[in-house]
Chain A
Amino acid sequence: MDARLTEEQRSLRETAGRIARRSAAATVDALGDSQRITQLARDLADSGLLELRHADAGPTGVEVAIVAEQLAAAASEASFVGPTLAADLCRRAGIETPETCTIALTTDLDRIAVESDLETALAFDAGTVTHALYLTESGDKYGLAVAPLRVGNATVDLTRPLAALTAAETRELAGPVLTVDDLALWRAFAHSVLSADLLGSARTAHLTTVAYATGRTQYGRPVASFQAVQHLLADSLVLLEGIESAVSYASWAVDAEDPDNAIDTALVSKLYCTNAARTINEIAIQVHGGIGNTWECMIHVYLRRALLAGQVLGDEGTLMEQLVDRRLKVA
């Protein structure tokens, strides 16, 4: 056992971080600049980072998590998680990944859309893609199809728009080859990637807040010198370390553990990260004080990103029910 990143993984982390930071929005007002977003999407495509989960890529759960974390840390607005989840589903179906494609979810974001959901389905992470993948049902198996996207709207998450689909122009990609078990493992992979996304946004919220509290002066001294504030920041760091351990293990487990363990681990990770990342963001707002509650302060951008990640493919209540059902079945 060795949980440390390899040299290649550390180098990937640096590369992804550099690409993400180069096109990061420094202020809330700067979000949505299409020139910057297009540049980032092109950089991601050119560097091969969008192909980490293609058919011949091997076990890359850890690599995907590394990139997802770095992009989230820079509040990246180019599609990455969506296309990577789409690619993984295509890989499980044994087909090539179509160009610039994300996944379609039901309106409550609880699960991947099937044909009958198309009218109301929402494409997740639709910033720089043109199509969304959904399931076609046939008996107890599933095939894959894509539909083009209508223009996306950034709603809750200001960095990752959701888009409606054009149900009239669908195209079938694969016949009924995916089993319920395939989809369960795909969801486990998705939870591990979303956990990494939560790690990235929470880390930046934490670091930004430590820097703010050190620079902000009240009563003639930095607010970070007050024990009450220090304890909030310490709580934040402890949660961040827990998230990091969960992401590290879960991102490895999706490719390496047996299916039952991989699914349990992914649920554990997503549940822990969703709750802990939200708490870190809430602490960040509190420590920023009044300014933390204004639109211009970047913290709510990270919070909003975390809220969406926590909702995709099952909110905490849904996932907790799934986990407890599984545990009480095997105990």
Chain B
Amino acid sequence: MDYRDDEAEADFRNRLRMWLETNALKGGLSSTDDDYWTHAAEWHTSLYNAGWFGVSFPARFGGQGLSPVYEAIVDDELAWAGAPPKPSLGYIVHGMMRHASEEICERFLPTMIAGTERWCQGFSEPEAGSDLAGLRTVAVLEDDEYVVNGHKVWTSYSDQADWCILLARTDSEVAKHKGLTAFAMSMHQPGVTQRPLKMINGVSNEFGELILDGARIPAANRITEPGGGWAMAMTVLNHERSPADLGYTARYSRAVRELERQLMTKPSVSPMTRHALGSAYVHSEVLRMHVKRRLSERLSHHEPGAEGAIDKLLMTTTEQVVGNAARQGGIARAFEGSDQSWLNTYLYSRAATVMGGTSQIQKNVIAAQILKLPNR
């Protein structure tokens, strides 16, 4: 066991650190405000062009084919530099690589990874939240096109997306999770209407909903075999639940450091705020250690599975402990009107235990699939 960088890893880290000295978008770019989402595309492109995004993705799709541990190096260095986290795309990339044909991967992955075509994820619906397999959006094959009708919600980045990875019902005669198929749906067409959803922290750029009214998808853009949508959704969700793929450790470490800096300038800090700050540091550091251990497990060619539920719970606890420190240490400035960012960090953290599968669903997954507890 050795957490140290080997020679190549150390070289990579040094080059990244030097690049970040002049290129880190420092300042108020918190991922919890609209300003961040406006600049997200720009950040993705500059990271990718310099060779710091998609480092563990295969070279034939525009990645660099490096071992998964390089992702931890990127996260660490982004956090130290005070830069925004890397784009959260790993889950769609892994889902496609595992379940789509080579043609689909070649068509879509390079531009997705390079950031020249942006993606959103159309899974959840108003009537299919935790019970995702009960989704009602239907795709019907007419000649060589699927015609899609339905309603998607909590569709992150949908206002900027060129493509949507869409989960729709193609067979209503079979068991509910066997009738689903995944598609690459163009967002630029008359049948797709996007509406922003304003969240409790005032952010309106991150979440949206999609009204699909006769949207059309060429049959060639079907990502999975008919009925193969559920398996892909599980892969996507296993990765989406993984802080290693989301790059969120950088976000938490950065928030804690900013809060530390702010509290240092105060003449006195209350014991409760000090304790909240300490807890935030403890949790964000343990999550960082956890990600390193998980990425190392992938060196044994271990594909992430149900343990994503454990990782997600560790991650969301961290997010909310950090959010709580932000509340205790910083929201006074929101009331007097000078700085909303800590209030927004706190409010945003409440969504962590809902999105990507609620904490309660994660615990069901752990009970059934990891602890293998009896169900009756």
Contacts and interface: CB of A to CB of B under 8 A. Distances in A.
Interface of B: 1-6, 9, 69, 72-73, 257, 260-261, 263-264, 269, 274-275, 277-279, 281-283, 285-286, 289-290, 292-293, 295-297, 299-300, 307, 310, 313-314, 317, 360, 362-364, 366-367, 370-371, 373-376
Contact of B278 (A245, A324, A331): A324
B283 A272 contact: yes
Given A245-B286, A272-B282, A327-B277, A227 B293 contact: no
Given A268-B285, A268-B286, A1 B9 contact: yes
Given A238-B313, A271-B282, A324-B274, A2 B261 contact: no
A268 B282 contact: yes
Interface stretch (A30-38, A170-178, A182-190, A247-255): A247-255
B1 A225 contact: no
Interface string A204-220: 00000010011000000
A3 B281 contact: no
Contacts of A246: 286, 289-290
Q: What are the 9 tightest A-B residue pairs by CB atom distance, in nearest-first order?
A: A331-B260, A230-B367, A3-B296, A245-B290, A249-B289, A234-B363, A234-B366, A224-B373, A231-B363
A248 B362 CA distance: 24
A49 interface: no
Given A210-B371, A256-B4, A323-B278, 17 more contacts: A1-B3, A1-B72, A2-B1, A3-B297, A210-B373, A231-B363, A234-B371, A235-B313, A237-B366, A237-B371, A242-B286, A245-B286, A245-B292, A252-B3, A320-B274, A328-B269, A331-B263
Contact of B260 (A222, A237, A265, A327): A327
A151 to B, nearest CB: 39
A268 B290 CA distance: 13
B371 A230 contact: yes
6 contacts: A3-B296, A234-B313, A252-B2, A253-B3, A321-B274, A331-B260
Nearest to A267: B282
Contacts of A230: 363-364, 367, 371, 373
B373 A1 contact: no
Nearest to A322: B278
Contacts of B296: 1-4
B1 A214 contact: no
B245 to A, nearest CB: 17
Contacts of A238: 310, 313-314, 317, 366
Contacts of A6: 1
A193 interface: no
Interface residues of A, number: 47
A90 B287 CA distance: 34
A306 interface: no
A120 interface: no
A68 to B, nearest CB: 15
B368 to A, nearest CB: 8
Given A237-B310, A241-B290, A320 B278 contact: yes
B376 A3 contact: no
A233 interface: yes
A221 B374 contact: yes
Given A230-B364, A231-B360, A331-B260, A323 B9 contact: no
B376 A242 contact: no
A88 interface: no
A244 B299 CA distance: 18
Contacts of A225: 373-376
A27 B281 CA distance: 39
Contacts of B285: 264-265, 268
Contacts of B363: 230-231, 234-235
Contacts of A241: 290, 307, 310, 314
A320 to B, nearest CB: 5
Contacts of B366: 234, 237-238
Contacts of A252: 1-3
A62 interface: yes
B300 A4 contact: yes
Contacts of A237: 310, 366, 370-371
A39 interface: no
Contacts of A245: 286, 289-290, 292-293
A245 B243 CA distance: 14
A323 B297 CA distance: 30
Q: Which of the listed residues B6, B263, B286, B313 has the most CB atoms from chain A within 10 Å of its own CB?
A: B286
Contact of A331 (B264, B292, B364, B371): B264
Given A222-B374, A224-B374, A327-B278, A249 B364 contact: no
B284 to A, nearest CB: 9
B1 A242 contact: no
